[in-house]
Amino acid sequence: MMTGAAPPIERRLAFVAEWYQAEAAIIRTFLVTYFVADKAVEVFDQRSKKTFLRRTKIPELTQRDFFVGSKINVFGRQFDIVDYADESTRSNLAKYRKRGFVLLKSHMWQKHLGKFLKTLIQNKININNGQMVQFTSKMVTQFLSGKPKTEVVSSVLMNELLAGPAISLELIGDNVVEIMSACVKYKRGDSGSSSSMKLSSSLEQLFEQEDVRYGIYCPETEEDVAIDLKFFFEERHSIIKECLFKGTTLAIIKPHSIKDGLLGDLIDDILSNGFNVTAMRMILMARINCEEFYEVYRGILPEYIPMVAQLASGVCMCLEIASSDPGKSSHSDFRTFCGPMDPEIAKLLRPQTLRAKFGKSKVLNAIHCTDLPDDTNLELQYMFKILD
């Protein structure tokens, strides 16, 4: 008796994830499974041995959102992915998809931040977390303790880190640690480089510039990456740069823009058009916080509910924006630069604005900016102080 061919094995990724239940002040562990074919998610409660969420399509989540160290929102609940749940997922992802770290010194990022981010993203190195930091002498000493002597060149690095705010970034990508290490060692025409990693032409073009190569620090081993990520993103100290809260306004690069690889393009446009970034943090907002932040639009904009869903769908980049001309209004100038809320209207009336160039719809319009001047400090306080 002949039998038909066995059905193809469905591709899925399984992870161990944690959810902090604030009411009980406990961390609960779940098994989160992502089904690649239909972009569906299933969540199983390991403590109660019950299905928490049956297989459900969540279009906002894609395969690249799932890796150890990522944070995902599933219907308003934030899950931290902490481990692989089976050997199949581990063998598919762990060998190549790694976490990396890079610190951009003040003199480098103020000139090259947009181009730097664009080049990394073009090379499939994604930004998973980021913040602007302000070192004190004590913090620099803590950060440099245990670093190899080749990096700690007497007081040079310390002085560079104390010279102005730096930007710390968590990177995700295939062989990202090896790639970034090869970048800082790259010299044009140097065939005798000790690195066996072949860089793309765009990375070579970026890192052939000395002020870029010498303007960053990055660890060379996965162990050192873990130490640096813990220092900047997990330990509780006041290294995050404070907002100015004076003559500034808020910008939020929305999750869809980040997932579409436009983070570098948007920041490059902002910095190239008379604006400075004076504070920065990347966060994943819970749905309840998104509802609270957008409360002013409830009952006024018919897009309120999808706006909330979009903001909660992934990480966003919050920026404090200041006009480079102190005689101008940061709020009004930046709001004009963002353009009308509807990208189609923006393309007709103000084609050079951010929403005209990068927006798709009223909800997917690339960037949020503060609408009313009296709300600038309220929104900045909410994003940089209240949300922790």
pLDDT score at 101? 97
83 or 327, which is more confident? 83
Q: What is the pLDDT of residues 196-228, one digit of tens each?
A: 678 999 999 999 999 999 999 999 899 999 999
CA separation for the pair 254, 369 (Å, rounded): 11
C-alpha distances out from residue 80 to 16, 84, 87, 190, 214, Å: 9, 12, 19, 42, 34
Quickly list H helices, 123-262. 137-144, 156-162, 176-185, 201-207, 210-213, 222-233, 255-259
Break the chain into its structural domains and give their ranges.
2-94, 97-234, 248-386
Question: Which homologous superfamily does the CATH classification assign to the domain defined by 97-234?
Answer: Nucleoside diphosphate kinase-like domain (3.30.70.141)
For residue 8, name the pLDDT band (cuts at 50, 70, 90): low
CATH T-level fold of 248-386: Alpha-Beta Plaits (3.30.70)
Are the beta carbons of 48 and 55 closer than 8 angstroms?
A: no
> Which residues lie below 8 Å from residue 133, measured CB to CB, with a gap of 6+?
165, 166, 167, 168, 232, 239, 240, 241
| Fold match flag (97-234 vs 248-386) | yes
For residue 9, name the pLDDT band (cuts at 50, 70, 90): low
CA separation for the pair 388, 275 (Å, rounded): 26
Pick the CATH number of 2-94 from 2.170.190.11, 2.30.29.170, 2.60.260.20, 2.40.40.20: 2.30.29.170
Q: Find residue 78's DSSP bridge partners.
A: 73
pLDDT score at 179? 94
CA separation for the pair 69, 82 (Å, rounded): 6
pLDDT score at 191? 46
C-alpha radius of gyration, the chain, whole number: 22
CA separation for the pair 368, 388 (Å, rounded): 20
Exposed, middle or buried by CB within 10 Å (0-12, 13-18, 19+), for 24?
exposed
Q: What is the pLDDT of residues 267-310, one digit of tens each?
A: 999 999 999 999 999 999 988 999 999 999 999 999 999 999 99
pLDDT score at 152? 46
Are the beta carbons of 220 and 177 closer than 8 angstroms?
A: yes
Task: Specify the pTM.
Answer: 0.86
For residue 22, name the pLDDT band (cuts at 50, 70, 90): confident
Phi then psi dihedrals of residue 41, to 5 deg: -125, 140
CA separation for the pair 303, 363 (Å, rounded): 7
Quickly tell me which residue has 């940089």 as its tokens: 384
